[in-house]
Structure 1
Amino acid sequence: MFTFPLHKMREIIARGRADAAANGGFRNPYYGLRPGEGEKPGLWLVGDEGVYLLSNGILAEGQRALVCYADECNPSTNPDYWLYKRQHFGGDDGIDFIDAESLDALIKATRGCVQLRIVCLRNEMQIYVI
């Protein structure tokens, strides 16, 4: 289970949209293996050195994407982040795309929430707002 502040998730999506508008669209999370998939507003759940959300707009030369680490899996604040990542995300690196429209609908249906929670299971990902 990974928990993120909802306001940071919104900032990441807004930054991705701004980067896309300024730089020609959205990045493909599948390294070009699935053209057209994930090239729309949203965010990426990334597992590598910790687990974090990442903006997906195309970046200008030298620009860095906006990132927010999961409360439970931040290398700067949790010395056991790698064990937690391995248990809840897996030992390999990976990226999962989460569509902004779906997140917006979920948030509108559950007003007053302040956190996004993502649970990675063997064959699915569950997303909640708290």
Structure 2
Amino acid sequence: PGLWLVGDEGVYIMSNGKLAEGARPLVVYSEQCHPLGNPDWWDYKRRHFGGDDGIEFIEAERLIPLFDRNLRVTHLNVVLTETEIALSLIAR
């Protein structure tokens, strides 16, 4: 179990869980890389995720401890480098 970090038309996260027949997954876009919310989304995606479409898997074991210790969180911060995905939480 976990989340997919997806880069295609924008950058977003979604569950990798099995959906009921006909159901659509909940998609949560990056604030900076939402195709309807930021006219510069393509440049941001290319700079931080790469020009090609892709999926990175984030294991639930990495996420659950973050959320369990901070109930006032409003945002998940994801930082991509060439070799890793760093996760942190933000409360606004």
TM-score, normalised by the number of residues in structure 2: 0.87
Q: Give the secondary structure class of the aligned counterpart of 1:90.
A: coil
Task: Report the CA distance between 1:83 and its aligned residue.
Answer: 0.5
Instruction: Give the aligned partner of residue 50 of structure 1.
Output: 10
Pick which of 55-64 and 74-83 moved more.
55-64
For the residue of structure 1 that corresponds to 2:86, the secondary structure is strand
Instruction: Say which one has the larger Rg.
Output: 1
Residue 26 (structure 2) aligns with: 66
TM-score by length of 1: 0.63
Indicate the residue corresponding to 1:80 in structure 2.
40
Larger RCO (CA within 8 A; separation ≥ 6)? 1
Unaligned runs of 5+ in 2: none
AA at the equivalent of 2:53? D
Matches within 5 A, 1:1-130: 41-130=1-90
Q: Which residue of 2 aligns with 1:38?
A: none
Q: 5+ residue gaps in structure 1?
A: 1-40
RMSD: 1.5
User: Sequence identity, in percent?
Assistant: 56
Q: What is the CA deviation profile of residues 34-86 of structure 1, one whole-angstrom value per residue up to 9, with x for unaligned ones?
A: xxxxxxx2111100000001121223333211111111100011111011000
Supply the AA of the counterpart residue of 1:114.
T
